[in-house]
Every structure is written in C-alpha cells, then in structure tokens.
Amino acid sequence: MGIRVVRSSSKSWAVAALTALAALFARAAEAEGTGALAVSMAHSMMMLLLQLGAILFAARLGNMLFTRLRLPGMLGELCAGVAIGPYALGRLTLPGFANGLFPEFFIRLSEGGHELRFVVSPELYGVCMLAAVVLLFLVGLETDLNLFLRYSVVGSLVGAGGVALSFLAGDLLSVWLLPWVVPGTYTALSPACVFLGVLSTATSVSITARILNENRRLDSPEGVTILAGAVFDDVLGIILLAVGMGVAGATAAQHTDWAGIGKTALGTLVVWLGATTAGVLAARTLAHALKRMGGHSEVAVLALGLALIMAGLFERAHLTMIIGSYVMGLSFSRTDINHMVREHLQPVFALLVPVFFAVMGMMVDLELLGDPKILLFGLVYTAACMLAKLAGCGLPTLLCGFNLRGALRVGVGMVPRGEVALVIAGVGLTSGFISKEVFGVAVLMTLLTTLTAPPLLIAAFNRKGSGLRPGKSPPGPLDVMLSSYSFPNEEVTALLRNSLMQHLGQEGYFAHALSMSEGIYQARKEDAVLNIRQSGNTIEIDAPPDAVPVVRLMMIEVIVEFEQTLKELRKPLGAELHTELSEVEAGRTVRRETLARHLSQEAMVPDLKATTKRAAIAELIDVLARAGLVKDSDAALASALKREAAMSTGLRHGIACPHARTDAVGRLVCAVGLKADGIEFQSMDAQPARVIILTLSPTTAESPYMAFMSSAMAVLHEEKALKLLLGCRTSGEMLRALVPDSRKK
C-alpha cells in the first residue's frame, strides 16, 4: 500500500489527514475478517491500546475538572467513564469500528454458569482488576493500625455501629425493593441483597479527612473520632466482604443450606483473620529483608509483587483477590517502608487506578438508570444508607462524651462512600451476584453520598458550640511533644531542614516529603513517627515523648555543623585553590559572545559616585532603569540587598558581583561600574571593590547567570584585561575592554 503526499492549504490539511486515517481503519477492518489467530490477537492488542488511551485521556480531563470544582477527582474519572462508555458516546460508530470503540462481550463466568453481557473486553477487564488490586493494596497501606489499637473503644463503637446498621438497612431494604426492578424472590441471604448490604457499609474517609484538614478540624474530638471509626469501618467492611462472598456463593443455589452457609462464613473469617495476623506479625521481618535487597524503588516493586501473589492466593481460596491485596497492605502499614512504598508506587497508582474508576463508569447503563423504578430504588437506597450511617455512627458517640451536635458531626463525617464501594460493586457484577440494574444503583449511591456529605459536614462544623457534653473529655490526638526552632531567614531554615532529613536517614529513619509545597515532611522508624513542618523561618517537629531527646540532639548536631561550615566559608580561598581555578579558566576558550549578548554601552559607568555598597548597587540599578531594562527599581534594589545580606558578594582582586533574582526584569541584565578608590564589599582578600558587576535575572524563567559570570570572571582573571578595564574613562572604552569586537557592531 503506497502513501501519496498531497500539498494542501492549512484548512484542508486536517480534513485530508482524517480522511486518510479513516481509509486506513476501513482497510484494516476489511482485512481482519480474512486473518488468522495472529491477526485476531494483534487486533485485540490494538483495541486495548486504543481503549486505554481513550480512557486515560478522558479520566484525566474528568479528574482535573472535578478537582477545580473542589470535588473528589475520583468522581470525575467515574463520570468520564460514563461519558465515553458504550451507553453514551461509546456507542457512536467510527470508520473501521462498526461496533464502536467499546463493543459488548459475552463472558461465561464459571463452568456451567450463565453468560454475562459485558461492556469491556477480557484484556481491558484484566487491566481493571490489576488496578483494583493496586488500589486496595494502597488502601491497606494507609490504614492506621496504631489508631485502631489506641482508640479501640470509641473506634469499635462508631465503626461497628455504622457497619451493622448500614448492612441491615441495605440488605433488608433490598429484599423489599429489588422485586420492583429485577423480578424474583429474595431473602436477606440472597446474593444481590448481601452485596447491597455490604456496599452500604463502605466509608471513604479520605474525602472527610480533606475537609477536616482544610477547616482545621482534623485534631478536634470529632475529627479524631471519625478517623478512628473509619479505620474500624474499613477493617470490618473488608471482613464483611469476605464473609459476604462466602455466603453469596453458598446461597447462589435455589435451596438454603444453613449449616453450609455457617461453615462457609466461619471458614472465610478464619482465613482472613489468620492471613492478617500472620502478615502483621511477619511484616517487620519481611520489611527488613526487602530493604536489604535494594533501594527504595526495588523495595516498592517487591512489595507490590507480594501483594499480587497474595491477591492470587486469596482468589485461589475462593475469596476475592482485592481482599488479599488489602491484607498485604494492612500488614505493611505499621512498618517503616510504608511511606516508601506508597511514594514510589504513586506513578503506578496514577496510571492504573483512573482506568478502574473509568471502567466502573462505563458499566453504568444510563437507559436502565433512567427507568423511574430503578431511579426511585437508587434514591431510596441512598437515603437509607445515609441515615443508617448517621444513626449507626452518631448514636454510639453519645456514650463517649459527645452531645447531639458532636454526634451529628461524627455521623455526617462517616457518610461518604468512595473507592471501596465501587470495588465491591465491581466484584459483585463480574462475579454474577448482582445485575446491571443493581450495579447502577450502587454507582448512583456512591456519587450522591460523596457529593452531599462535604457541604453537610461543613455546615455541621459551622454551627457554633462544642460537640462535647460538659465535663466530658473524649480521646484526643496521639501523645506528641512539639519542638520549635527559629532561624534568621527561610533560606537558612531550608538548608537546616534538608540537613536534618539527611541525618534522620543516616539514623535509620525513612524521611520523605508529604507536601513540599506546604513544607510538610515525615520521618518513620519502626513505630516512631516524626512530623516535620517548615513555616517561614521556623522548623516544628512533632515527636513521641521517647523520641524527643534524640530529635533535640540531632538538631543541635545539625546547627553545629552548619556553623562550622559558615566559618569555613568566611575564610579566604587558599592560594593553591586560586591558582588551580586560574589555570582551569586560562585553559578554556573565553566566550566573549556571551558577554556581548548581555552588556550594553548605556549600562557602563566609568566613575561611580557612590561611596557605600548599598549606594553603589542603587546607582547601577538606576542606570539599568534609565536604559529601560528594569521595570521596578525599588523591587530590584530590595532583592539585591536581601541577597547581599545573606552573604557578601565581594570576590578577590577588587571585584564584586552583587546579583539577585527579581520580577523587575524580564531577562538577564547587567551593569558594570568602576570606582577608583574602591568600595567596601567585605571581599575575600579584604580589598575594596573597584570593579562592580551587578546582574539581575528573572525569577520565573531560566537565565544564563552562571554562564555569564563564568565568562566575565574568565576575562577579568587576565591581568592585562583587568588593568585595561580599570583604566577606562568612558562607557564605550569599558565595553570594548570587555568585548573587543563591539566596535565592529
């Protein structure tokens, strides 16, 4: 097949390109019918690549849009999947794709089982399940078992109350409502009813935690109680999913074998608890072994490999694979490699997890969801799930010192559903335990609870008044001691913070950034967790009481080392080093064209009037301003003086190079001034500066400051060039001394 290049106008080029592309797709589609197995496999891989590309692109756009609207990005990815799925835009036919980009498949779920009409190919479904495994592995890693153990009373009451009441509400309500939309006879142990009950128990604490953090309520009594209850909620929800899978499988037959159901439920619970207990006990030994095998990236990959193996083993044991990955994540949650693994798996998470949420959205049949009966079912089910969480999580808090206001805040904080609910719904659909109608109801419930809970939570906290009963003191934050250290400026503070992080790493801590933009860092070693914050010129460290002495000694050592470094920097460069630098520069080709690009005659001052360092800098900035090279003289002067205050820019042999980054300039600009009797610049050799080279560069873009100064120093290191410059009487002579070829221009 040949390709002919056609010259066309810019307007017709796009049309011609699309026409040619459509022709290629059409020919490929025609050839597909005559191909053998290899052609079919190639076609499957081609379809997978196109589908993944479309999904990633749409999911990222949805995430960005919802994030700008201050809504969870996960919902944007879910809605993007709905939009491009086969029940919306995905049904549109394209050249070469008669059935659309996402054609339906019929998949036999098990031997002798029924066929399920599926909207994703087996290959895309495999990627989706891999994403679900990674997602639940990271959810397990984020589970705070220390909080689980510390607040076992209030956490168990809130978590267990919410799970129990939500499950009963979802399960029993579905017994009554399901016959409206899916004809049949249902009991509380019917697979669809069990899954709707399990779905209603999930809680997305990440959404609540973000809102509490933004409103500075994360450490409030209600905030701590919500976090503790959510930990129990996650653990109990996964246990309930494991048991529910066993019960659903046992009751899939028409008759009910109560003995078999009880045996299956008990066996499932024993397997889960046994695997979790063994994993938690062996986790530290396993983490130490992984750390000896390589660096941070290798440890993260090996940990993910173990999660995949555990997921496969759980699937082999007739439990869903996501439970196995959650168990492995939960096992590593108390080890010091926890954040290391999470940080290095973030790119994997960012790639795969949006695929999962988008595919979940693609499975939503909009026509079915638009059915009045199904829509009514979804709204009633959602309302029941919200009320069940409010009552189940809020009422137990009344026993823990809260009043009705505090109980309402805790209950609303536990309402949002999120990623775990979608994972459970996907497992139920692909296992054949729930229908497309029920799956759509589950997605609708997730959307509505996630959208309505944040404004309700903000409104509950905006109501003035304490959430505690008089004289009551519920659990507060973990016992920590705060150490605070202040320094002269932000630059010094950042240097000391980086040095502290290096020292912590040498002491066996895993030190990493939680939010570099907000200056929040963390260091972990076994159970010890240090939270480090830089706010301006202050470093604050939250540490457990037994770790405070170590932190203080380490901070003293960092400060002493910094002071010793400053003393060394104040010493003049040794003669040997100066000779060595001169030899290096003399051996290089002097790039005078670099100077020529940034020097101009109007920025040359042969006789400075200033007698002080500040006045000299101000005079050179005024020269640049008159030449139209500086937009704001005051801002430029402030930046230059701030840089000079940090450390003097006086060099050797009577040369000073004050400089700064400032928004007052749009590109690198330079002014050169001469002072016959010199100006005091605290130079390295204690000589006054007779040549002052002022350089200003923009803060928002890269500028060749180092290349410019290197060229200038290379020129002035030549004794003849320096004497020639000092003997200049006009600005033109100065420019020719620095750039000899300038007279030709």
Active site residues: 659
How many Cβ atoms are within 10 Å of 471's Cβ, its own excluded? 6
d(CA 467, CA 694) in angstroms, rounded, equals: 61
Phi, psi of 335 (to 5 degrees): -95, 165
Tokens of 489: 């400026």
Contacts of 581 (CB under 8 A, 6+ apart): 573
Q: What element of type H or E holds 511?
A: strand 510-515
Q: What element of type H or E holds 673?
A: strand 669-679
Q: Which is it for strands 669-679 and 604-605: parallel, antiparallel or unpaired?
A: parallel
Closest C-alpha to 29, from 15, 14, 16, 47 = 47
Contacts of 346 (CB under 8 A, 6+ apart): none
Q: Which is it for strands 481-486 and 538-543: parallel, antiparallel or unpaired?
A: antiparallel
Closest C-alpha to 186, from 245, 246, 248 = 248
Task: Tell the residue number behind the tokens 């690009």, with chain if given.
Answer: 597
Q: How far is CA 598 from each of CA 550, 602, 644, 668, rounded to the nearest angstrom?
A: 52, 12, 22, 7
Q: What element of type H or E holds 195?
A: helix 191-199
Contacts of 203 (CB under 8 A, 6+ apart): 162, 230, 233, 234, 237, 389, 414, 415, 416, 417, 418, 420
With contact defined as beta carbons under 8 Å apart, do 274 and 324 qualify? no
Tokens of 393: 């999580």
Strand pairing partners for 655? 691
Q: How open is the CA angle 456-461-462, to the nearest 5 degrees?
A: 95
Q: How far is CA 584 from each of CA 590, 592, 711, 739, rounded to the nearest angstrom?
A: 11, 17, 13, 21
Task: Tell the residue number behind the tokens 């937009």, with chain if given.
Answer: 631
Q: How open is the CA angle 51-53-57, to the nearest 5 degrees?
A: 120
Q: How far is CA 403 from each of CA 367, 407, 596, 738, rounded to the nearest angstrom?
A: 45, 6, 75, 79
Closest C-alpha to 218, from 157, 144, 166, 152 = 144
Tokens of 62: 């949805």
Contacts of 371 (CB under 8 A, 6+ apart): 181, 437
Measured in whole angstroms, the distance separating CA 624 from the mean position of its chain's CA atoms is: 44
Tokens of 528: 């010890």
Tokens of 505: 């790493």
